[in-house]
Structure 1
Amino acid sequence: MSDVKMDAPTDKNKHRSEPKGSDKGKDDKKDEQKPLPWWPFVLAGVVVAGFVGVVLWIVFAPQPDVWTDDAYVMVHYATISPRISGQVASVDVADNQVVKAGQVLVTLDPRDDQTTLESAKAALERDTAQVNNAAANVARQPSLITEQEAEVASAQARLSFAQSDQRRYGNLAATGAGTAQQRQQADTTLRQDQMSLQSAQAALDASRRQMDVLKAQKSAQEGTVKADQARIDQANLNLSYTRILAPQDGMVGEKTVDVGNNVSPGATLMTVVPLDLVYIEANYREVDLRHVRGGQHVTIHVDAYDIDLDGVVDSVPPATGATFSPIPPNNATGNFTKIVQRLPVKILISPNQPLARLLRVGFSVETTIHTGLENVVGEQDNAAARVTAH
C-alpha cells in the first residue's frame, strides 16, 4: 500500500512539476505586446482640427449678420409742464391712460387770468377813446391854421394902411400942413400894426407846429392802444394756458400732479409717451458696422415676450455713445488704452405688426442686422452724400 501511494503523484505535484517556460506563458506575452490601433488618434485629430477651423472661421470670417444684445426700446416722449403758474383745478387723466392729441390733461384755476383779461379790455376802451380825441384835434387843426392865416392877412392889410398914413402925415408935417400930433399918431399906429402882424405870424407858425404835436400825440395814443391789444392777446393766451392739452397721441406716464397743487412754469406734471413712434437704439461695436447702412432688414428679438419683430436700419449716428457723455474721455491726458467704441444705431419698427404694440420704452431687445456684406466703403467712395445717414 505504501509503495503504490508513493508511485502515484497527486494533481498538486503535477502542477508543480510543469516547467516555467511553457508555451502557454509565451502566448500570453505575445498578446500583451500587440500594437494599439492608429485610427482613433487620426479621428481625434480630425475632430480637433475641424473644431479649431470652425472657431477661426467664426472669429475671422466676415459675417453677413451682425448681432448685439446691447439694444433698447427708445422714444422721444413729451414732458407736460405748465406755461403759467396757478393752482390745479382738475386732473382729467389717470396713470397709463391712452390720450389723443388736443385732449385736456390738466386744468388750472382760470379766475386770475380772466380778471386780467377784463382789465386789459377796459384799458383798451379807455385808450381807444383818447386816440379818437387826438384824431379829432388833428382834424380841427387845419381850420385853426386857416384862421391864423386870415389874421396874418388882416394884419398885413392894416399895416399897409398904417404905412400909407405914416407917409402921408409925415409929408404934411414937413410942409406945415399937418400937426405933430397927427404925425405921432400915425407913427404909433404903424408900430402897433407891425406888432400885430408879427403876433399873427407867430400864432400861425404855432398853429402849424401844433399840428405836428397833435399828430405825435395821436401816434402815441395809437401805440398805447396797440400795447393794450397785445396785453389782451397775452391775457387770452394765459387764459388758454389754464387748459393743458396733450401735444400728441400717446400714453400717460410719470404723473405727479393732483388737484390743489400749486404749480409753476416748467414743472413736470406728467409725460405723454407716443408708443406708436418707438424705435430701437442698438449699440454696435464700431468694427461691426463695416457693412451696415440704412434700409437693411433687422430681426428684433424682444426678451420680455420672447417674440421676434421686423425692423429696418434708419441710420448710423454721427458720433459714438461716449462722445455725448457728461464727462467724455480725454485720451490725451494719460496712458492710452485702445477700447472699441460703440455707436447707437437707430432701427425703426416695420409697420403692420400687431405684436409691436406690446413694446414699452426701456425694454431690452436683441437685434440682428442682415447686411448681406454690402460694400459700404465702395459705395461711399462713389457717392457724394453720406450713405450711412438718412
Structure 2
Amino acid sequence: MSQTEQTNASVSPAPSDLPEPMLEKQAPREGTIVLDPVPAGNSTGLTLPVRKALIDRRWLARWGIWSVGILGVAIGAGVLADFAYYRFTKSMTNDAFVESHIVHLAPQEAGILTRVLVEERDAIKAGQVLAEIDPVPLQRAVEEAQAKRKVAEATLRLEEATLDRLEREHPRRVAVAEKELASADAAYEESSAMLKMTVQDVDKAVNEAKADAAAVQAALTNAKEEFDRYTKLFADRSAPERKLQDMTREYRAAQAKAESAKAKVERAEVDRGQVEVARRSLDQKDRAREKAKESLRLAELGDLEIEVQKHQVQLRRDEVEQAARTEATVATRLQNARIVAPFDGVVVRRYRNPGDHAPLGSPVLSVYDPELIYVTAYLEEDRLEGVAPGNRVRIWVDAIPGAMDGRVVWIGQATGANFSLLPRDVTSGEFTKVTQRVPVRIAVDRGPRWGQLRPGLSVTVAISHGPGDPEWAAAEAERQRHRGQFGVSPTAVLGGER
C-alpha cells in the first residue's frame, strides 16, 4: 500500500460526500478519523481542526525525511572523513598474521618412538625431555665403544711400561758397554806394553847370549891355540907336563863355557816364542776391544729403539683418543635419541605417538615461545611511505573482539616474491605488474588479551605515519633476537629422565 493510500485510509470522507445508500451502512473503523458534516459552502469538505491536523502531519513527515537525509549525509561525511584520515595518515592492510618462532622438533637418530611425554597445549621448560627413541641399540654401541677404549688404554699402558723400561735400561747398558770398552782398552794397552817389553827383553837376552857366546868362543879359540901349542911343546919336551895339564883344563873349561854360551843363545832364541805369545795375546785383546766398541755402539742404538717405542706409545695414545672420540660420538648419538625442549614454550602440534617409526629429521612435535609473539603485516609497496620503525600500530585480530596496540619493529629488506617457489620470469617480454608486498614486523603491546594471541590468527593493522622511534625499535629487535637466539641441545642435558 502506498503512502497516498495509507493517507486516504486514515482520513475517511465526510458522510455528505458518500452516496445515500452508504450513509446508513458505513460504520467507522478503528483508527479512522470521522469528519463531521460541513456546511455546503466549504469546498474542501474538511473542518478547520482537521485541516490543521493534516498540515501538522505533513510538516512532521517532511521534517523526518530531512532529518534522516541530514543524518545520512553526516554519517557518510564521517565515514568519508575517517577514511580520508586513515588513508592519508595511516597505512592499512588485512594481509597480516600473528606469528612466532615455531620450532619443529625432530630426533637426530632414526628409530622407534618409545615415549612421548607431552600433549598439545602442554607448557614445557627448557631442557625438559619431551620424547625418546628406543635407546637399546645405541646403549649397546656405547658399551662396545667403551670396551674398545679400555683395550686401547691397556695397550697404551703396556707400551708406556716398555718405554719406561727401555729408558731405564738404556743408560745402564751404555754405562756397562763403556766400562767394558775401557777395560778392553786397558787390557789392550797392557798387552801392547807387555809385547813391547817382551820383545825388548828377548832381543836383549839373545844379544847378550850371542855376545857371551862370541866371547866364550874367542876364549875357546885362544884356549885351543894354547892347548895345541903346549901339546906340541910337551911333545918336544919343551914344556912341563903340568903346564900341559893346566892348558888342557883351561881348554876343556873353555869348551864347556862355549857349550854353555851356545845353550844360552839357544834358550834366548827359544824365548822369542814368548814374543809370539804376547803378540797373540795383544791380538786377542784387540778383538776384545773391538767387541766392546761394537757393544757400545749397539747400546747407543738403544736411543733409536727408545724413539721407535716413543712413536709406538704416541700411536697407542692416538688410538686411545680415537676410541674415546668414538665413544663420545656414540654417547652423543644416545643423547640425541631424546627430544629436548630448546626453550620455555608451548606444544602446538604432536605428529607421532609411541610405537611410530620416526625417520631422521621427521618432526615429532612443534613448539613455540609464547613470549615471542608478534604480528607480521605484508604491506603494499606503495603504502610504505610514512612507515618507520617505532611507529604506533592499531591491531584488530579477527578472533579477539576489540582492538590492540603495537609498534613497528622493523621493515623487511625484500619482498615476498623473491622467496616464491615460482619466481617471476619477465624475460619472455610479457609482463603484468603486480603490487608487491613487504613484510613489516609489529610488536604487540602487552595487555589483558595478550594471552589470547595464537600464531596464525588473521589480523588487520593500521600503521600510523611518522618519523618513528629508532632507538625503541632497535632495543625491541635486540630483545626479540636475544629471545630467539639460544636453545638447549640434547647433549647439554646430562642423563635426563629415563
Same fold (TM over 0.5): yes
Q: Is the alpha carbon distance of 1:303 and 1:87 closer, same or farther for their aligned partners in structure 2, counting shifts above 3 Å?
A: same
1:263 maps onto 2:358 in alignment: yes
1:170 shift after superposition? 5.9
Q: Does 1:147 align with 2:172?
A: yes
- The answer (yes or no) to whether the contact 1:169–1:178 under 8 Å persists in 2 is no
- Residue 279 of structure 1 aligns to a residue whose secondary structure is strand
Match of 2:154 among 120, 129, 154: 129
User: Once the two structures are superposed, what CA deviation does each residue of 1:93-115 show, in whole Å capped at 9, x if it has no partner?
Assistant: 22343333233221222222222
In the other structure, the counterpart of 1:107 is: 132
Offset of 1:272 from its aligned partner? 0.9
Select 1:97's aligned residue among 101, 108, 122: 122
Q: Deviations over 1:151-180 (max 9, x none)?
A: 133123213422442464267458465326
2:162 aligned with 1:162, yes or no? no
Residue identity over aligned pairs, in percent, reads 24
- Give me the whole-angstrom Cα distance separating, in 2, the residues matched to 1:143 and 1:114: 43
**Residue deviations 1:290-318, cap 9 Å, x none?**
11111111111011233311111010011
Which of 130, 133, 142 matches 1:117? 142
Separation in structure 2 between the aligned mates of residue 361 and residue 120 of structure 1, nearest angstrom = 45
1-structure distance, mates of 2:103, 2:168:
64
The whole-number CA distance in structure 2 between the counterparts of 1:76 and 1:142 is 63
1:234 corresponds to which letter in structure 2?
T
Letter matched to residue 438 of structure 2: L
When residues 58 and 239 of structure 1 are mapped into structure 2, their CA distance, relative to the original with a 3 A threshold, is: closer
Closer, same or farther in 2 for the Cα pair 1:187/1:131, shift >3 Å?
same
Q: Is the counterpart of residue 319 in structure 1 residue 345 in structure 2?
A: no
Could you tell me which amino acid in structure 1 is paired with residue 117 of structure 2? D
- Counterpart in 1 of 2:383? 288
Q: Report the more deviating stretch, 246-255 or 289-298.
A: 246-255
- The residue that corresponds to 1:85 in the other structure is 110
Deviations 1:338-389 (A, max 9, x none): 44321010111112x2312222222111001122x43x8xx99xx9xx9xx8
Distance 1:246 1:275 in 2: 14
TM-score (norm 2): 0.59
Count of residue pairs brought into register by the alignment: 333
State the partner residue of 2:301.
Answer: 206
Aligned-partner Cα distance in 1 for 2:80–2:331: 72
- Would the aligned equivalents of 1:90 and 1:107 in 2 still touch at CA under 8 Å? yes
Deviation at 1:323, TM superposition (A): 1.7
Structure-2 change in CA distance of 1:233 and 1:290 (3 Å): same
2:272 corresponds in structure 1 to 178
| Structure 1 position 355 matched with structure 2 position 449 | yes
The separation in 2 between residues aligned to 1:60 and 1:286, in whole angstroms, is 20
In the alignment, is the contact (CA less than 8 A) between 2:109 and 2:133 conserved in 1? no
What is the DSSP-based 3-state SS (H/G/I as helix, E as strand, rest coil) of the residue aligned with 2:292? helix
Taking structure 1 as the reference length, the TM-score comes to 0.74
Quick one: distance in 2 between partners of 1:142 and 1:235? 38
**Inter-partner Cα distance in structure 2 for 1:199 and 1:261:** 75
Tell me which amino acid in the other structure corresponds to 1:298.
V
| Cα 1:356/1:140, change in 2 over 3 Å | same
Matched with 2:464 is 370
Separation in 1, partners of 2:167, 2:96: 81
The equivalent of 1:240 in structure 2 is 335
- Structure 1 position 222 matched with structure 2 position 317: yes
- Decide which structure has the larger Cα Rg and report it: 2
Deviation at 1:182, TM superposition (A): 1.2
Q: Which runs of 5+ in 2 are unaligned?
A: 1-72, 204-268, 479-498
Letter in 2 for 1:122: A
Q: Equivalent of 1:195, from 290, 305, 318? A: 290
Give the letter for the 2:153 counterpart.
T
- Structure 1's unaligned 5+ residue stretches are 1-47
The answer as to whether partners of 2:375 and 2:444 remain within 8 angstroms in 1 is yes
Task: Measure how far apart 1:66 and its partner are.
Answer: 1.2
Distance 2:437 2:303 in 1: 79
Matching residue's letter, 1:283: Y
- Do the aligned partners of residues 354 and 249 (structure 1) sit closer, same or farther apart at CA in structure 2, a change above 3 Å counting? farther
Deviation digits for residues 112-145 of structure 1 (CA, Å, limit 9, x no counterpart): 2222223333333333233332232222223322
d(CA) in 2 for partners of 1:339 and 1:260?
A: 49
Q: 1:299 to 1:245 in 2, by over 3 A?
A: same
Alignment RMSD (CA, Å): 3.5
Could you tell me how far 1:56 is from its partner in structure 2?
12
State the alpha-carbon separation in 2 of the partners of residues 236 and 133 from structure 1: 27
- Amino acid of the residue matched to residue 181 of structure 2? A
Contact 2:346 2:367 (C-alpha < 8 Å) held by counterparts: yes
On the 8 A contact 2:113/2:356 being kept in 1, the answer is yes
- Corresponding position of 2:248: none
**Does 2:394 match 1:299?**
yes
Kindly tell me: are residues 329 and 68 of structure 1, through their superposed partners in 2, closer, same or farther at Cα, counting changes over 3 Å? same
The structural deviation recorded for 1:64 is: 1.5
CA contact (8 A) 1:148 1:203 kept: no
2:346 is equivalent to residue 251 of structure 1: yes
